[in-house]
Chains A and B, each alone.
Chain A
């Protein structure tokens, strides 16, 4: 059979081969030119003595055109949001607007030094303050820090604030409750903040089991870390009761805001009982994922936690100008040098400005509409383990395909042939063989229909030709890599052929 017969979105094309940059290097080639020195020359050996460095070993020597071609060629081996739908559940791979990139690179912002005097930095400070105010309004909280560098860093900051708050009341307590559907960062964060982790079971609807919660919350529990909507894309309908159970025992509710793209403009965590939460600006607020980062993980909190925010915070001073306040005796301290990933703050503010209140609400509605459309069209073709209403993402399982030996990871690889980035594979852990799909608002009906057709076609292949799926992808530059061997005998850096052979 023709492997590519039913593939509509993508066609293979010529892509350039390219080795490692070191393999293009040869002595004397240059990709730089420095201006002439306007001060007297110095001899490093004389000034540095025995601390002087002899040479730079195998650092590359290449020309500018080779650098451009090298990185351009390898870039074409990536799939990206700019190519099409990137339905990674929990990652919110939405469109990254170009105006955000442009304004973040404006000279005054891109070249501002973090220690330059506040009175000549009012513009940057105003950006921090405006973003803070707008995120506070969006979350329904009372105060915020923009300092954390990513979601997990925000989690750590928030849990440290919980700890400092509880400590100020006499007892930091011992453990954090975490639902079994949670991201791995939640338990890892709790451990870094010195807490034990206690697992909380989900009920048959995929939500927090109230009976278990009531049984488990006691004076040892510092907080519940809850993702809402959770990783099944399900809104915790009893959210306020959850908060009440916690608060009655003196525990707090930490909300993991990874899934805020389902809520912005429709409901505010501060209104439904969250005490502290982080946002992922690189998810909900469209700052680019950059192939792994940078992110930004602001932490918003209620009044009771405000004294514990990291230092410094932006304030309006008596003379009306903006500045940083470092005098915060109850603060958890610094979690990062300077003020956070400012470049991401600029982008997020530009995103909010482009949307306005109506745009943000419509964005959320489209994100939820898209997920529900996919659910409707694929339900029955793929197993839907939870029939609870879907918000911004939908989780299927591979239960209908496994009898033919086809698993979620295989379906994901075949989806690559169809011109899509795979969904999130085998997560959340509460669903065996999970396919976690988050389309975001950025997909048109046409793109969604192509995706749905691809998923249907793969389900048919699973019935008739499961071997095609088991060996997918077929149309990529490389086939599946031997990850086991890569971990067993790790090669983590390039070495010149002679050195590599001698090892």
Chain B
């Protein structure tokens, strides 16, 4: 086996030194009746070239090279090549969690920079080193709000990603956390009257998403005022991180729960992605996840360490803020590099291109006869159209042109039967938009 660095004679020498007659002696602790007899029933060992061929074949069976109008929580953005070049350094991807700071300063400093950039973009004071993803991050943010306020209930907008809401339901069930839902107005934004009715004196956290699942940018300040009036915390979930390049940060929020996949993490059929939580300094001790902080060594030299670990499971066990241990470290590194590549000017320029493409597409679709839903509030790079025909039928036609159409919303919102959610990014070509505009006319 090519990954194993021992010859048969090495093994024999070692067994001799241990005082074992055969390797079986070392497995004597396992009762004989449970030992595997013979081989596991899995395929034979493959050569490297065979493995590459196998996966190349699977890749061609996975819509390789198609144009896509899908967003809905996973976004197709160009990934600068320096990202994979850098994260492929063994020093980064074959290292463990930086528990030994003297030989992990590379990882620690990169996380500190990541935390700093997330704070800068979201308007929060502190950000953690990552969560699994946007969905579990949102669930954990609601649990954090319950710890901070000592209250038990949650209120979640119906325009939060439906799969995030499903995860929240799973997490909340055994936390003794009732979850209520509030809807949106005609313009796609949270209906403020319904919101006010959904919050009471026992509401710990109010969760919204902005831009929301329909692509609409929420009026965070107005929502914050209602939540804060009742003593609840406002949690803003951001699924499309690129929006922060031109959309006002949710500075009125108490917790920001982000899915940073758009910052250079591949779509990868849904994962691994990069959740991240950011909050106010005064709530930091209730925040889950790892945190990197600045420290000084004996000679006064600056370095970085994992800090405030008394929140975490390896110290506090059942009293910890979360059971999270392994996070999405390498994805956070990807995001950090992406944010560095684009930086202060580039993120703005990139976000503006997204805005322009989506705006053009929405206008073209309207001209073709599709109805644009949720008009009257600002959007970023996604929009909802209603068509005369079933969106699945439209998508079938586009698929023949190697184009994947928008996301049919009836999967999650049966009342929106002929509506679909379309996303354009900087990678969406005008030609694809024009081709799609023809089909949505039908």
Contacts and interface: CB of A to CB of B under 8 A. Distances in A.
Contacts of B85: 68
B355 A47 contact: yes
Contact of A113 (B28, B74, B91, B115): B74
Contact of B326 (A68, A113, A151): A151
B340 A352 contact: no
A369 interface: yes
B45 A358 contact: yes
Interface in B44-87: 44-46, 48, 50-52, 54-66, 68, 70, 72-74, 76, 80, 82, 84-86
Given A53-B245, A188-B323, A291-B329, A80 B91 contact: yes
Given A71-B110, A481-B295, A357 B39 contact: yes
B407 interface: yes
Interface string B282-326: 001000001111111111010111011110111111111011111
Contacts of A82: 90-91, 94
Nearest to B174: A194
A481 B348 CA distance: 38
The 10 closest A-B pairs by CB, nearest first: A338-B270, A292-B329, A108-B59, A356-B45, A290-B330, A123-B61, A82-B90, A194-B174, A108-B64, A114-B270
Contact of A71 (B86, B272, B291, B349): B86
B166 A291 contact: no
29 contacts: A20-B109, A32-B342, A42-B355, A47-B379, A51-B217, A53-B246, A56-B245, A56-B343, A57-B344, A80-B94, A86-B96, A107-B59, A108-B62, A111-B268, A115-B70, A116-B63, A120-B404, A234-B29, A267-B27, A294-B330, A356-B42, A357-B44, A372-B26, A421-B103, A427-B314, A445-B10, A483-B307, A487-B308, A492-B294
Interface stretch (B12-20, B150-158, B193-201, B228-236): B12-20
Interface string A187-199: 1111111100100
B293 A491 contact: yes
Contacts of A443: 5
Most chain B Cβ neighbours within 10 Å, of A59, A341, A413: A59
B175 A194 contact: yes
A116 B68 contact: yes
B186 interface: no
B330 A288 contact: yes
Contacts of B167: 333-337
B188 interface: no
Contact of A44 (B111, B132, B246): B246
B156 to A, nearest CB: 14
B178 interface: no
A359 B308 contact: no
Contact of B248 (A41, A53, A340): A53
Given A360-B40, A421-B103, A343 B266 contact: yes
B45 to A, nearest CB: 3
A78 B35 contact: no
Contact of A107 (B65, B115, B294, B357): B65
Contacts of A272: 31, 34
B192 interface: no
Interface stretch (A155-163, A397-405, A459-467): A155-163
Interface residues of B, number: 199
A104 B27 CA distance: 35
B308 A376 contact: no
A107 B23 CA distance: 43
A494 B86 contact: no
A343 to B, nearest CB: 5
Nearest to A96: B94
B217 to A, nearest CB: 5
A34 B394 CA distance: 31
A152 to B, nearest CB: 4
A37 B356 contact: yes
Given A78-B106, A288-B330, A376-B18, A39 B61 contact: no
Contact of A293 (B35, B330, B426): B330
A355 B171 CA distance: 37
A179 interface: no
Interface string B85-114: 110111111111110111111110111110
B215 interface: no
Given A127-B58, A353-B43, A487-B293, A342 B270 contact: yes
Interface in A47-86: 47-53, 55-62, 64, 67-68, 70-72, 74-83, 86
Interface in A164-217: 183-185, 187-194, 197
B130 to A, nearest CB: 7
A122 B62 contact: yes
B360 A39 contact: yes
B367 interface: no
B248 A363 contact: no
Contacts of B388: none
A435 B120 CA distance: 41
B269 A113 contact: yes
A93 B93 CA distance: 12
A22 B323 CA distance: 33
Contacts of A48: 217, 246-248, 355, 378
Nearest to B117: A59
Given A291-B333, A369-B11, 19 more contacts: A40-B356, A44-B351, A48-B378, A51-B248, A57-B120, A67-B340, A107-B59, A111-B76, A123-B57, A138-B42, A149-B132, A185-B323, A188-B320, A240-B34, A295-B326, A338-B271, A343-B268, A356-B44, A492-B284
A88 interface: yes
B297 to A, nearest CB: 4
Given A122-B62, A150-B132, A56 B348 contact: yes
Contacts of A101: 88, 93
B166 A75 contact: no
A59 B62 contact: no
Nearest to B164: A337
B272 to A, nearest CB: 4
Contacts of B84: 105
B326 A150 contact: yes
A8 interface: no
Contacts of A31: 80, 82, 340-343, 346
B119 A117 contact: no
Contacts of B97: 289, 291-292
B276 interface: no
A280 B348 CA distance: 39
Contact of A442 (B3, B293, B299, B346): B3
A271 interface: yes
Given A356-B43, A389-B26, A444-B10, A290 B93 contact: yes
A55 to B, nearest CB: 7
A90 to B, nearest CB: 11
A390 B201 CA distance: 56
A99 interface: yes
Contacts of B325: 150-152, 183-185
Given A74-B105, A77-B105, A109-B58, A188 B307 contact: no
A396 interface: no
B64 to A, nearest CB: 3
A491 B126 CA distance: 9
Contact of A338 (B5, B163, B176): B163
A450 interface: no
A149 B271 contact: yes
Interface string A322-347: 00000000001111111111111010
B441 to A, nearest CB: 19
B104 to A, nearest CB: 6
A79 B130 contact: no
Interface stretch (A246-254, A298-306, A471-479): A471-479
B72 to A, nearest CB: 6
A422 B100 contact: yes
A137 B95 contact: no
A389 B11 contact: no
Contacts of A106: 55-56, 59
